[in-house]
């Protein structure tokens, strides 16, 4: 949405904003209950934020992209404030909390647990304010990009509500589809984060990098079952209140796995906390449902209510009283550091194709710093929108319907009945089991073999007849086609990287190696099913 | 073993209304949306309903009628009894439990 707004501000006359769900209601941003990192506090500077971002990235950040994230991101946060997003205030400035990995309190937020919905709402309002130059169409699943002589000239898509296939011509196309969390059984984003953008870019001929780096959020909600709450909600609780992470015997354990004593604060980085919880469970000291306990029982009721007011009532409706009850948490797929390779104008290797947000690879290296995801979405959206407007001003190439023929044929296909929802569930299980935060050569080989089996079962034609309104079986089939390719990319890169770094931990190669302080780019050869490493 | 029986309105516009009956294992703590997703994986992948955010009540897509009352399927608890699900009556039907809820200026037509 930021890209669309900026494109019009920079002179684009006609912007088409497509979303595979309702506009601004799916994806990751609307789900983010947590905080947003930006150097907007007194005495802070985007260079300090950059230093923390680079340190978290374990040597693999693209410094130029990381600098844009921090510098442009801070400007975007201030612009969002002018757009009345409602950042919480303290005194004359923003209320800011210190998240793990930051050198100071740098993270703004919207109370109570409303950061993501507030950001989405403010952007939706701005998009509408821009007026008719932005045409918004929801429920459109882009299935392939159209490529003519190495240049992206548009896309082919399925209009989910009607089942009709669409062809779209564009002078510039921006991928802003987010990450790949749906590849995992337990994840913290919407059901539509299938890695679409990575698959679209690969099939068109663009390059991906850092695909092995999937960030697991260590304290995703595990039990008891909560309804109507985001599984990452305990992060803002820990920012404000500290809390204690305990094993099945109600003992603190992070120190045992290389962390520092937290003493009621929130200081352990995500990769270490994920490691510590997983190892503690493996050692037989997990909580009853296979995670860790998170306790706020030492925090007075009045303090809890002051920090989270209405959320305390929603917890009570779920039968939870934090002054009395601990909850169980465990790692959950949360974000993907890798993505499409771009330059500092968000241009991919292919003319006419840009990328923005989480779908971009390289800015966050091997491990993303807390709070950088929305900052990145805003900053890269703004840059990509400006560049798209510049390219559109140079004129659009002639669109060739012939170049869209193969992609349209896929959507017109009528295949045998099958259950792609069950295949998606199988993919999620295998990725969680063998391509989670901790990997081995054996597990990755097993995953590669199972992906090949799934691809064979998927076949080459979506089930049933085309043209049915809201046909979830065909939608799942089309999603799984993309998810399998993206899963292959993760497995290929994770197999190649024989070291442990940030979010990629190889149990058979536990050390970080200086020789591996480099990115792994991937491309898909025409006609191939599995992407290959390129030098 | 306790079970839930879901009576789910099926079909598209113009088709004679019918309710398909699905019996499934009752899982304490599950939402109605969880049960619908479980049905798609285990029984009938063609069952149509809307959702994006799964559990967070952020996307507001999963509105439907539960025993005649408007609910979000993601916040309505599954219960060990007969439950009837229908699409929103005041919206254009797409199919099964899915209706047109996009704002008019965000539609294709």
Neighbours of A318 (CB within 10 A): 15
Q: Which of B72, B77, B106 is closest, CB to CB, to A22?
A: B106
Do the chains contact at A21 and B107, CB–CB below 8 Å? no
For residue A398, pLDDT over 90 is answered with yes
Which residues on B lie below 8 Å from A472 (Cβ)?
Answer: 40, 45-49
Chain A from 429 to 468: CB within 8 A of any B CB: 464, 468
- Whether the CB of B45 is below 8 Å from some CB of chain A: the reply is yes
**Rounded Cα–Cα distance for residues A404 and A156 (Å):** 7
Q: Do A228 and B55 touch (CB under 8 A)?
A: yes
Token pair of A1, please? Answer: 């949405």
Tell me: do A174 and A291 sit in the same domain.
no
Residue A488 lies in a domain: no
**Any domain includes A312:** yes
Tell me, yes or no, whether A432 lies in a domain.
no
| Interface touch A469/B31, C-beta < 8 Å | no
Residues A160 and A226 reside in one and the same domain = no
Put simply, whether A476 touches B (Cβ < 8 Å) is: yes
| Share of residues in chain A with pLDDT > 90 (%) | 85
User: Does B55 contact A476 at a Cβ distance shorter than 8 Å?
Assistant: no
Confidence band (pLDDT; 50, 70, 90) for A192? confident
A22/B57 touch (CB, cutoff 8 Å), yes or no: no
Dist CA A142 CA A193 (whole Å): 13
Name chain A contacts of B108, Cβ cutoff 8 Å.
Answer: 137, 139-140, 159, 161-162, 164, 166
Nearest CA of chain B to the CA of A191: how many Å?
A: 5
Q: What is the mean pLDDT of chain A?
A: 94
CB of A412 within 8 Å of a chain B CB? The answer is no
C-beta atoms of A140 and B45 within 8 A: no
Q: Which of A27, A192, A473 sits opposite B45 (nearest CB)?
A: A473
Predicted ipTM of the assembly: 0.96
Least confident of A93-97, A513-517, B25-29, B32-36: B25-29
Dist. CA A231–CA A334, nearest whole Å: 10
Find the mean pLDDT for residues A141-170. 97
What pLDDT is attached to residue A240? 83
Using a CB-CB distance cutoff of 8 angstroms, which residues of chain B are in contact with residue A418? 45
From CA A234, how far away is CA A219, in angstroms rounded? 7
Q: How confident is the model at residue A318 (pLDDT cuts 50, 70, 90)?
A: confident
Q: Is B91 on the interface with A (CB under 8 A)?
A: no
What is the percentage of chain A residues whose pLDDT exceeds 70? 100
Nearest CA in chain B to A426: B41
Do A250 and A285 belong to one domain?
yes
Last residue in a domain, options A359, A377, A394: A394
Pair type for strands A173-175 and A532-533: unpaired
Q: Mind telling me how many Å the CA of A30 is from chain B's nearest CA?
A: 7
Q: Decide: helix, strand or coil at residue A246.
A: strand
pLDDT band at A312 (very low <50, low <70, confident <90, very high): very high
CATH number where A231 lies: 3.90.700.10
C-beta of residue A48 within 8 angstroms of C-beta of residue A103: yes
Q: Between A107 and B54, where is the model more confident?
A: A107
**Would the pLDDT of A33 be above 80?**
no
Q: Span A449-475, mean pLDDT? A: 97
- Say if A130 is an interface residue toward chain B (CB within 8 Å): no
Count interface pairs A-B at CB distance under 8 A: 125
Contact B76, B63 (CB under 8 A): no
Q: Closest approach of chain A CAs to the CA of B107, in angstroms?
A: 5
Q: Rg for chain A (alpha carbons), in Å?
A: 22
CATH number for position A389: 3.50.50.60
pLDDT tier at A111, thresholds 50, 70, 90: confident
Collect all residues of chain A within an 8 Å Cβ-Cβ radius of residue B105: 136
Backbone angles phi, psi at A441, to 5 degrees: -60, -40
**For the segment A228-270, what is each residue's pLDDT rounded down to a tens digit?**
778 888 988 888 888 999 999 999 999 998 888 888 788 787 7
Question: Closest by alpha carbon to A209, among A422, A504, A460?
Answer: A504
Window 169-188 of A: residues touching B by CB (8 A cutoff) are: none
* Number of independent structural domains in chain A: 2
The first and second tokens of residue A529, run together, are 């099913």
Segment A1-17 mean pLDDT: 97
Among A358, A375, A394, residue at a domain's last position: A394
Query: Which of B106, B107, B109 would you mutate first to test chain A, the one with the most A CBs within 10 A?
Result: B106
> Dihedrals φ, ψ of A156, to 5°?
-115, 140
Residues 6+ apart with CB under 8 A from A190: A21, A26, A27, A28, A30, A31, B52, B53, B54, B58, B59
Residue A422 contacts B where some CB pair is shorter than 8 Å: yes
pLDDT at A108: 96
**Contact (CB<8Å) A228/B75:** yes
Q: Is A227 found in the same domain as A208?
A: no
Name the residue among A29, A63, A23 with its Cα closest to residue A46.
Answer: A63
Q: What angle do helix axes A46-56 and A63-82 make, rounded to 10 degrees?
A: 130
Tell me the chain A residues in contact with residue B106 when contact means C-beta distances shorter than 8 Å.
Answer: 22-23, 136-138
CATH among 3.40.50.2000, 3.40.190.10, 3.10.20.30, 3.90.180.10 for B3-100? 3.10.20.30
pLDDT above 80 for A163:
yes
- The last residue of one of the domains, among A394, A410, A435, is A394
Residues A201, A321 within the same domain: no
> Residue B39 CB: number of other CB atoms within 10 A?
19
The per-residue pLDDT for A99 is 86
Question: What are the sequence ranges of the domains in chain B?
Answer: 3-100
The residue ranges of chain B whose pLDDT is under 50 are none
Write out chain B residues lying below 8 Å of A470, CB-based. 48, 50, 94-96, 98
Q: Which of B12, B58, B63 best probes binding to A when mutated, by most A CB atoms within 10 angstroms?
A: B58
Contact B70/A at CB under 8 A: no
Q: CA dist B102 to A84, A137, A333, B61, Å?
A: 24, 9, 29, 9
Provide the domain limits for residue A277: 220-330
């Amino acid at each position: 949405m930021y890209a669309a707004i900026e494109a019009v501000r920079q002179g684009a006359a006609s912007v088409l904003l497509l979303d595979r769900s309702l506009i601004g209601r799916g994806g990751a941003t609307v789900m983010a209950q947590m905080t947003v990192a930006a150097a907007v506090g007194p005495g802070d500077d985007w260079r300090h934020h950059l230093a923390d971002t680079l340190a978290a990235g374990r040597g693999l950040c693209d410094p130029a992209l990381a600098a844009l994230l921090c510098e442009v991101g801070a400007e975007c946060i201030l612009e969002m404030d002018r757009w009345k997003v409602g950042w919480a205030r303290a005194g004359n400035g923003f209320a800011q909390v210190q998240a793990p990995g930051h050198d100071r309190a740098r993270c703004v937020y919207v109370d109570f647990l409303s950061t993501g919905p507030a950001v989405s709402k403010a952007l939706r309002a701005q998009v509408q304010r821009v007026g008719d130059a932005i045409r918004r169409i929801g429920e459109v699943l882009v299935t392939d990009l159209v490529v003519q002589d190495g240049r992206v000239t548009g896309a082919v898509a399925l209009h989910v509500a009607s089942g009709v296939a669409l062809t779209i011509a564009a002078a510039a196309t921006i991928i802003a589809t987010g990450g790949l969390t749906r590849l995992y059984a337990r994840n913290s984003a919407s059901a539509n984060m299938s890695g679409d953008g990575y698959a679209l870019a690969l099939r068109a001929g663009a390059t991906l990098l850092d695909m092995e780096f999937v960030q697991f959020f260590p304290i995703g909600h595990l039990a008891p079952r909560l309804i109507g709450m985001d599984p990452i909600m305990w992060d803002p609780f820990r920012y404000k209140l500290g809390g204690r992470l305990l094993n099945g015997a109600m003992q603190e354990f992070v120190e045992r796995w290389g962390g520092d004593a937290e003493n009621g604060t929130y200081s352990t980085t995500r990769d270490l906390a994920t490691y510590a919880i997983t190892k503690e469970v493996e050692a037989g000291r997990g909580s009853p449902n296979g995670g860790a306990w998170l306790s706020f029982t030492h925090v007075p009721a009045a303090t809890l209510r002051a920090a989270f007011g209405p959320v305390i009532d929603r917890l009570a409706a779920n039968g939870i009283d934090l002054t009395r009850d601990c909850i169980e948490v465990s790692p959950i797929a949360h974000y993907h550091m890798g993505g499409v390779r771009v330059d500092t104008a968000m241009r991919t290797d292919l003319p006419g194709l840009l990328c923005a947000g989480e779908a971009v690879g390289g800015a966050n290296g091997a491990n993303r710093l807390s709070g950088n995801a929305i900052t990145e979405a805003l900053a890269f959206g703004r840059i990509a929108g400006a560049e798209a407007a510049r390219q559109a001003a140079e004129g659009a190439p002639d669109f060739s319907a012939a170049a869209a023929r193969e992609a349209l044929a896929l959507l017109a296909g009528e295949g045998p009945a099958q259950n792609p929802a069950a295949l998606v569930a199988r993919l999620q299980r295998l990725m969680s089991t063998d391509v989670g935060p901790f990997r081995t050569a054996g597990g990755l080989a097993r995953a590669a073999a199972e992906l090949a089996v799934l691809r064979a079962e998927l076949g080459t034609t979506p089930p049933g007849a085309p043209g049915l309104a809201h046909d979830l079986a065909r939608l799942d089939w089309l999603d799984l086609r993309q998810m399998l390719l993206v899963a292959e990319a993760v497995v290929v890169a994770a197999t190649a990287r024989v070291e442990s770094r940030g979010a990629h931990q190889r149990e058979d190669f536990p050390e970080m190696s200086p020789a591996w302080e480099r990115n792994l780019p991937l491309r898909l050869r025409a006609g191939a099913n599995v992407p290959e490493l390129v030098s | 073993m306790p079970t839930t029986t879901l009576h789910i309105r099926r079909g598209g516009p113009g088709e004679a209304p019918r309710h398909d009956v699905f019996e499934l294992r009752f899982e304490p703590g599950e939402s109605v949306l969880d049960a619908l997703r479980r049905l798609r994986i285990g029984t009938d992948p063609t069952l149509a309903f809307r959702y994006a955010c799964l559990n967070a009540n952020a996307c507001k897509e999963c509105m439907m009628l539960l025993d005649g009352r408007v609910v979000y399927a993601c916040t309505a608890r599954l219960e060990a009894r007969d439950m009837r699900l229908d699409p929103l009556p005041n919206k254009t039907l797409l199919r099964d439990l899915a209706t047109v809820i996009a704002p008019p200026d965000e539609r294709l037509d």
